[in-house]
Amino acid sequence: MIDSLAIDRDDVTTASGRRRRLRMLVTSAGRRVGLLDCFRRGAAAAGVELEIIACDLDPDASAACHSADAAHAVPRADDSGYADAVHALCVAHGVQLVVPTIDPDLAPLSAARARFADAGIQVSVSDPAVIAMARDKLATATFLAQAGIPSPRTATAEAVLAAPDDWRWPVFAKPRGGSAGRAVRAVASPADLAGAMDEPLVVQDLLRGDEYTVNIFIDGDGRLRCAIPHLRQQVRAGEVEKGVTRRAPVLEDIAVRLAAALPGARGALCFQAFVASDGSASVFEINARFGGGYPVADRAGGSFARWLVEQAAGLPSTANNHWQDGVRMLRYDAAVFVTP
């Protein structure tokens, strides 16, 4: 186990004057070393002395936990005691900000957000209704249609198989409750779809064009402050490996409409869309959390991490939509070495 912290949470005095001190918790930290780096850079720019605690099911096997200032084990996010364990950890160590990183974390922490707030702890998470919609791909499609946001035709696999001639094949299939690109696939025929139904699936028209992720930041008052599209040039295991920020007015307009239709959204979110050759866009996914490609937005000037630190530390917000077009991210494999 990595050693826990042994310092207080008060402001500290440095050679340059008085600075805020903030302790935060990153849940399901896994391999998110890049996200921790974004928070450290953002805090330094805001003049905040930041300490990061990371938690995971097995901290000793997590690169981000070894990169944090301290780490602790917690139950699985689907365990009934998960939120209680995270709350107890925060209270015991004076945590002021909690940032969830994976979909299963969101619902239990959102449901317990008021309890955390009573202890002076901000959880950067949207309302339960937003989480439930984003976690259910069929509910996402229904929401987008009702909000008038362009999206692909979507139905359950059972509905598609009941009327296969109503669809143009191949189609796109994915788990109704999936994430991180798990088990997404193009399906060539009804027979192939029937053979792939080992879990509930949704089916969508197969979109063509350029695939984008749009990272958005919504402040504590529910205002959209920033929207940064990036072109997903190469993807590995559902996460962008090569990407570049691009000004895309059609996607930035969708971000405004999406935020207006989601009054309970807060903090960092992202959505994915295809932009066709005629310039039209179609949204097919919403994630109510930091996206895996967030570091390219951060580097381009969308410092969501800094803005969350400012919010938790009670500092004036510097959130803005002034970011740099054409910033390219080229990811590579790195390693954390642990000696016995």
Which residues, including other chains, have CB under 8 Å from residue 124's CB and lie 6 or more apart?
Answer: 97, 98, 99, 100, 266, 267, 268, 308
Phi then psi for residue 241, to 5 deg, are -105, -35
Bond into 170 cis (ω within 30): yes
Asked if residue 183 and residue 278 are part of one domain, the reply reads no
Predicted local confidence at residue 207, as pLDDT? 94
How far is residue 212's CA from residue 335's CA, in Å, rounded to a whole number? 28
| Cα atoms in the Cβ-side hemisphere of radius 13 Å centred on 86 | 35
Residues contacting 315, CB < 8 A, separation 6+: 20, 46, 48, 309
Domain span at 269? 208-330
pTM for this entry? 0.91
Same domain? 105 vs 162: no
Q: Are 54 and 62 in contact (CB under 8 A)?
A: yes
Asked if 213 and 323 sit in the same domain, the reply is yes
Question: Is 71 inside any structural domain?
Answer: yes
Residues 136 and 162 sit within 8 Å (Cβ to Cβ): no
Query: Do residues 217 and 323 both lie within one domain?
Result: yes
**Of 168, 254, 160, which Cα lies nearest the Cα of 206?**
168
Helical ranges in 233-301 per DSSP H: 249-261, 294-300
Asked, for residue 6, whether it belongs to a domain, the answer is: no
Q: Are residues 198 and 97 in the same domain?
A: no
| Helical residues (DSSP H) of 262-300, grouped into ranges | 294-300
Q: Do residues 234 and 263 both lie within one domain?
A: yes
Q: In what order do the strands lie in the sheet with 201-205?
A: 154-156, 201-205, 171-175, 185-187
In the chain (340 residues long), the average pLDDT of successive 10-residue segments reads: 36 51 97 97 98 98 98 97 98 98 97 98 98 96 96 96 95 82 81 86 95 97 97 89 97 98 97 97 97 97 98 97 98 92
Q: Does any domain span residue 340?
A: no
Whether residue 305 sits in one domain with residue 236: yes
User: Does residue 188 lie in a domain region?
Assistant: yes
Report the chain's C-alpha Rg in angstroms: 20
Q: Residue 315 falls within a domain, yes or no?
A: yes
Q: Are residues 259 and 312 in the same domain?
A: yes
- Based on the structure, what is the number of domains in the chain? 3
Same-domain status, 37 and 87: yes
The continuous run of DSSP H or E covering 311 comes out as helix 304-313
Cα angle for residues 123, 100, 292 (degrees, 5° grid):
135
- Write down which residue in 74, 106, 125 finishes a domain: 125
- Rounded CA gap, 13 and 122, in Å? 24
Instruction: Work out the number of other CB atoms within 10 angstroms of the CB of residue 299.
Output: 18
Last residue within a domain, chosen from 205, 238, 270: 205
Distance from C-alpha of 30 to C-alpha of 62, rounded to nearest angstrom: 5
What tokens appear for 136 in the block?
């259910």
CA–CA distance, 322 with 225 (Å, rounded to integer): 10
123: exposed, middle or buried (Cβ count in 10 Å: 0-12, 13-18, 19+): buried
